Amino acid sequence: MRSIVKGSVGTIVGETTPTAFKFLISKEVGRGTYIKAKGDGREWILAQIEDIKRSNTAYTVNQLNDAARNYDSREMMIAESRVIGVESNGKLRLPTSPARPGESVFLADEKLIKATLGLSKGDMYIGMLKGYDIRVEMDANTLVQKHCSVLAKTGSGKSYTAAVILEELLERKVALLVIDPHGEYASMKEPNNVGDFSKYKVKPRGYDITVYTPGEMAMNPRADRPFRFNSLNLSAREVAKM
């Protein structure tokens, strides 16, 4: 077995693929931590810990039934890591070959994380990378010229993330039309005073937006104007207002 390299948090073990590897933990790390390891081309592979498993071969059912046995602690912690990719000329690519078992694993540095995740080139500040003091920034020109989707499980903050992106676009005078069947974005008219804004170095503010509602205003008192259809077309009066 190779000796532990200074500064490493573990050693790659078992079978590896270009998209995943496991490593034996030698220093405390947690789920979500970004790590790096050398690839076959000796470039740094950026990965993220998805799960951690703890085992101890001294504590099996058979051994516990033997009351006279003197147990030795043989505890191991194995981290399962998902490969994010390798930064190559400003673009992200997957390594063509897997990392080698026996290679040391290190905590990823801020420069590698920003370059590989594409966080170093952008003018739209949408938040901080979880667990790190790294700003997450998107390129406004790229965003408005191409398709964009916000995907995540229920309750993970998709609507809030979308609202932050909309605010950044409004700051740049980009015209927006939001179809909002659940009424989640009308609150953008008022500043949000709930949250630790000093942490993110931003100040809450409201935006000059117009909220339309179908039918009567009584259905949505927060709306500014009714939005009616005349047969299959908008009435000329409402189109003029828009």
Q: What is the pLDDT of residue 39?
A: 86
Q: What is the mean pLDDT of residues 13-35?
A: 95
Say what percent of the chain tops pLDDT 90. Answer: 36
Query: Is the pLDDT confidence value at 53 over 80?
Result: yes
The average confidence (pLDDT) of the chain is 84
Domain layout of the chain by residue ranges: 1-117
* CA pair distance 176, 182, nearest whole angstrom: 17
- pTM metric for this prediction: 0.75
What is the pLDDT averaged over residues 60-77? 65
Most confident residue range from 48-57, 192-201, 226-235: 48-57
The three-point CA angle 132-135-137 to 5° equals: 140
Q: How far apart are CA 35 and CA 49, in angstroms?
A: 7
| Choice between 28 and 235, residue whose per-residue pLDDT is larger | 28
Structure tokens at 174: 């980009």
CATH topology of domain 1-117: Elongation Factor Tu (Ef-tu); domain 3 (2.40.30)
